[in-house]
Structure 1
């Protein structure tokens, strides 16, 4: 290229047709020489065009091998994980193997209060919602209160690798805090469901503060951190609820769009169906309250979720 630039400058003042012809001849000659060298197997001085081209090709190929291997390893890992889930599904009596959730988004979606769930002057307050904005066929499984402490639930959910979130009330968990500590160690996020599960709109702001912020402090002392998610008992709240919740660290108020029992589902939406991003509610209850155990409930809700082509994702990856 240096030769071409030099020759071009030396003939730059000649008539245009001659200049163009000269440049074309020089470029052709240079290209021909490079091609001949390449055809001869790249012989010539070290560092020549053929050797440089070969080096550059090698450099370009090397980075491609790393990501390709990583992708293959990732795919193989997913395959093994799903195979283990299939074995666990058979062990726990599920008729279908739960589907694997996609990778969570790099940036969490923006969540706003659902239309109709607003309170006066709710700007800046934690959003209240029943569905997370996403186009993926995923739903989120949540469990409330903490009355039933079934060890089979811990084993079942761990072996099936199904994520879920726990919203806890102190008055029913205080006889066995350790059960929920074991749950937390298995990757479950523990969130706030008040101290005593009272109907919040019937309380003063000070009483609501005791219920909500008191549970924040209980959970910080017992489990090492204050929750950021809060679910009001019965799904009932007013503006004081949200103001108080925000004041002690709550950033979002997830409600639900469907509820699971061991023998049936209850639907909040008019079409009685699941939708991408729906939050499913159930409770820590057993045969004393339900027509079945907590594993029975998981079998029921997972049959519904999987048969409709949905996977269960981790709520905290999106909120």
Structure 2
């Protein structure tokens, strides 16, 4: 089972299973939960983060969020811009942008707690230490495109936008061995040229976000100021130079928030 986590009663361990097998399974569940709680407390959490369900066997259809389409979106087969993945699973997806802060304790924390996240990287912010994100990649983190220099893309020509996106694709392939299929436009701003350029560069999805987490607060897109099943959550690689705290401080706030609301953090790529 992925990550060594017991998620549900395996086939054959239902009511008809031998009592000894059910007792053994229950005991292993208790041990796993105790281990999760010990790690959580080590990182300053009162509760262990909830475990996400197994990835869906049939992936949901990802369409542009209503009102976020561009002209000829469907006819041109452009990458959808979306803020939430359609699912009934009580999960959210953590995404982290740019790459300015490179905190080794953040990598350790996320690895030990087994919290999945998706990174969207900007070359100007990572070129001083590509190796940090190679470590993240070895830990299972998906690395994706956030352009070369983080410009306001709609203010650029099609050719310049394509340079920003395809140029970052080349950096990603050279440094990390593959060209990603996801791109997040800087500031969440885009136009038809952005999505046309993204498609030409091999991008299939352009996720943005429905809420944003900082070290001291949450911001929301929706009027109800809440999270919902399948929401994409944004944060940034930031530290004390920009925040009143560190990335582990931000993670603690985020995990307490979602756990208290009964949500687990799932891997975005598992739903695409």
TM superposition score normalised by structure 1: 0.76
* Structure-1 residue corresponding to 2:37: 86
The alpha-carbon distance between structure 1 residues 170 and 223, as it changes in their structure 2 partners (threshold 3 A), is same
* Structure-2 residue corresponding to 1:117: 68
* Structure-2 residue corresponding to 1:251: 204
Aligned match for 1:154, one of 107, 124, 145: 107
* Structure-1 residue corresponding to 2:120: 167
Deviation at 1:88, TM superposition (A): 1.3
The alpha-carbon distance between structure 1 residues 74 and 122, as it changes in their structure 2 partners (threshold 3 A), is farther
Instruction: Determine the C-alpha separation between the residues in 2 that align with 1:79 and 1:244.
Output: 50
Deviation at 1:171, TM superposition (A): 0.3
Confirm or deny that 1:132 pairs with 2:97: no
Deviation at 1:78, TM superposition (A): 5.5
Does the 8 Å contact 1:85/1:161 carry over to 2?
A: no
Instruction: Determine the C-alpha separation between the residues in 2 that align with 1:105 and 1:280.
Output: 20
* Structure-1 residue corresponding to 2:6: none
* Structure 1 unaligned spans of 5+: 1-62
Deviation by residue 1:36-81 (Cα, 9 ceiling, x = unmatched): xxxxxxxxxxxxxxxxxxxxxxxxxxx969x969x96887665544
Report 1:11-50 matches (<5 A): none
* Structure-1 residue corresponding to 2:52: 101
Secondary structure of 1:99 counterpart: coil
Instruction: Determine the C-alpha separation between the residues in 2 that align with 1:174 and 1:239.
Output: 29
Deviation at 1:248, TM superposition (A): 1.3
Structure holding more helix per residue: 1
* Structure-2 residue corresponding to 1:266: 219
Deviation by residue 1:10-30 (Cα, 9 ceiling, x = unmatched): xxxxxxxxxxxxxxxxxxxxx
Q: Provide the aligned C-alpha RMSD in A.
A: 1.9
Higher relative contact order structure (alpha carbons within 8 Å, sequence separation ≥ 6): 2
Larger Rg: 1
Number of positions where the alignment pairs a residue of Structure 1 with one of Structure 2: 255
Does the 8 Å contact 1:154/1:183 carry over to 2?
A: yes
The alpha-carbon distance between structure 1 residues 79 and 176, as it changes in their structure 2 partners (threshold 3 A), is farther
Instruction: Determine the C-alpha separation between the residues in 1 that align with 2:101 and 2:191.
Output: 29
Instruction: Determine the C-alpha separation between the residues in 1 that align with 2:196 and 2:207.
Output: 16
